[in-house]
Amino acid sequence: VKSEGPKLVPFFKATCVYFVLWLPTSSPSWFSALIKCLPIFCLWVFLLAHGINFLVSHRSASRILAGLIFSAVGDAFLIWQEQGYFVHGLLMFAITHILYSSAFGMKPLDLKAGLLMGLVCSSCYAFLYSYLSGPFTYLVAVYIALIGFMGWRAVAGMQLCNDLWTWTKLSACIGAMLFMVSDLTIALNKFCFPVPYSRFIIMATYYAAQMLIALSAVESRDEEDFRKRS
C-alpha cells in the first residue's frame, strides 16, 4: 500500500480541485467536464505508471484501464444529461461494469454471494419500478443487472471463508459496493425524489470506488513480486 500511495497523489489533488471549485451543474461546459473527469484521468496515469508491459501482460489491469476510459466518457456525457445525454452516459457506464466484471473474473463462483447480490438488486429495481416510464423501465433493469453482476464478481473474489483474501481483493469489493451506492443515489435523485446532498454523496462514493477498483489492478503485480521473492 505504501508503494502505491505516492502514485495516487495526483488523483487526490484532482479530486480536491473538483470539490473546491464545485462548478454548478446548471451551466454545463467543456471546462466543467474536464474538472469532473480529471480524477479519472489521474487514475489512467496511475495504472500507466506501472508500465505498458504490465498492462499488456495482465488482462485484468488492462480491462480496468479500459473501464476507466469508458467511465471518463460517461462522466462527460452526464455533464450534459439535461440536454438528453443521460442515456449515453448510462451506456458508457454499462460497458464499464462489463469490463470490470471481466477483470474480476469468474473464479471462485460463490453462488451464495451471487444470490445475495441478486436479491439486493431485485429489491432496488422493485422500489424504482413504479417511478420509471418509457425506455427507462428496461434500461434501468439492464443497468442494475450489470452493476449487480460486477458487484457479485468483486465480492466473490474476497474468499473470506477460506481466508484467501488480499488487500487488493478487499479494495475491489469495497470499490464495487461504493459504485453501487453512488449509482443508486443517482437513480433515487433522478427518478424518485430529491436526495439531500445528492451530488456530494454521488461524487464522493464514485471517486472512492474508482480509486479502489484501480488499486485492485495491482494484484497481479503483487503476486508476481511475491513469486520472485519466493
Name the residue with cell 480496468: 64
What pLDDT does 226 receive? Answer: 41
Domain that holds residue 155: 4-228
What pLDDT does 178 receive? Answer: 98
What pLDDT does 89 receive? Answer: 98
Q: What distance in Å separates the CA atoms of residue 198 and residue 129, rounded to the nearest whole number?
A: 20
What pLDDT does 71 receive? Answer: 98
What pLDDT does 1 receive? Answer: 61
What pLDDT does 222 receive? Answer: 47
Name the residue with cell 505516492: 6
Residue type at position 212: L
Q: Residue 43's closest CA among 107, 96, 118, 80?
A: 96
pTM: 0.93
What pLDDT does 224 receive? Answer: 46
From residue 91, alpha-carbon distances to 26, 35, 73, 95, 147 in Å are: 23, 21, 10, 6, 12
What pLDDT does 219 receive? Answer: 67
For the chain, which ranges sit under pLDDT 50?
Answer: 222-230
What pLDDT does 163 receive? Answer: 58
CA–centroid distance for 200 within its chain: 16
Number of domains in the chain: 1
Q: What distance in Å separates the CA atoms of residue 68 and residue 217, rounded to the nearest whole number?
A: 12
H-only helix segments in 80-194:
86-104, 111-129, 136-156, 167-187
Cis peptide before 108 (omega within 30 of 0): yes
